[in-house]
Amino acid sequence: MQQHAAAEYPRECCGLVVAIGRRQVYVPCENTAADPAEEFRIAPEAYAAAEDQGQVIGVVHSHPDGTSQPSPRDVAACNSGDLPWHIISWPEGDLRTIVPEDAPLIGRHFVHGTDHDCYGLIRAWYRQERGIELPRFPHDWYWWEGGADLYVKHYRDAGFEQVLDGSLLAGDVILMQIQARQINHGAIYLGDGQILHHLYGRPSCRDVWGGYWQERTRMVVRYTAPN
C-alpha cells in the first residue's frame, strides 16, 4: 500500500485487499476518477479482475498531503457497502481502517482491532440486538502470544460476570482457548445450540455449539450491568 501510495503521489492511489485462501494480498488498481488528486474510482473491470484472484475483503485508497482521517464521503461510501476501508496518508504513512456501521452480523470480513474481529462481533451483536454499547479495549496483534489474557482481564469491566451454575442463555459469551496458552476467542450463544463468532481469516458465521468449540471452552460470562 505504501509503495503504491508513493508511486501515485500526488494522486490518490486505490486498490483492493484480496483473500486467497488464508493469505491476504494487496491488489493495486488504476484510479479512473475525473480528478484523481481529490477522489478515487475503481473501474468495475478492475474489481472483477481482483475477484478472479480470490475474495475481495477490503478497499484501499490514499490521502495525499493529508491525514488518514476519513472524509464524510469516505464514511458514507464505506457505510453503503459491506467492506472495510483502509486509508493511508502520504507521505505521512499512517494507516487507518473504518468499517461499515451496523453491517450484517454474518459474513463480516476479519479486520483486527475493529468491529470485524471476534470481540468486535460481540460488541456489534450487543449494540444491534440489545441496544448496549460495550467498551473497547486497546490490544495488539497476537496479544495472546505475548502472554496477555485480555478477555479474562476485562470481562467484568465490560459488565459481565462468570456463569458458575452451568446454565447457558442467549446472549451469553462463550470464552475459548484456541491454539493458545490462554483464552483468546469469544462467541455469542444464540440459543438452540447455535453460536455466532468470528475467527481470524474467516467470515463471521453461525456454528453448532458442541464438539470442537465446546472442547475449547474455558468459561462462560453473562451480561449483568444495568442498561
**What does the pLDDT read at residue 58?**
94
Asked about 205 being catalytic, the answer comes back as no
List phi, psi (to 5°) of 71: -80, 165
Asked about 78 being catalytic, the answer comes back as no
Q: pTM of the full predicted structure?
A: 0.68
Superfamily of domain 118-223: endopeptidase domain like (from Nostoc punctiforme) (3.90.1720.10)
How far is 177 from 144, CA to CA, in rounded Å?
10
Each domain of the chain, given as residue ranges in start order, spans: 2-98, 118-223
- Whether residue 100 is preceded by a cis peptide bond, meaning omega within 30 degrees of 0, is no
- For 139, half-sphere exposure in the C-beta direction (CA atoms, 13 angstrom radius) is 25
Q: Round the average pLDDT of the chain to a whole number and report it.
A: 91
C-alpha cell at 94: 499512517
User: Among residues 78, 116, 118, 198, which one is catalytic?
Assistant: 118
CATH of domain 2-98: 3.40.140.10
Asked about 116 being catalytic, the answer comes back as no
Give the model confidence (pLDDT) of 168-186 as tens digits.
Answer: 999 999 999 998 889 999 9
Strand 55-64 to 85-90 pairing: parallel
How far is 164 from 136, CA to CA, in rounded Å?
25
Give the model confidence (pLDDT) of 111-132 as tens digits.
Answer: 777 777 899 899 989 999 999 9
User: Among residues 86, 109, 197, 198, which one is catalytic?
Assistant: 197
User: Among residues 14, 185, 198, 205, which one is catalytic?
Assistant: 185
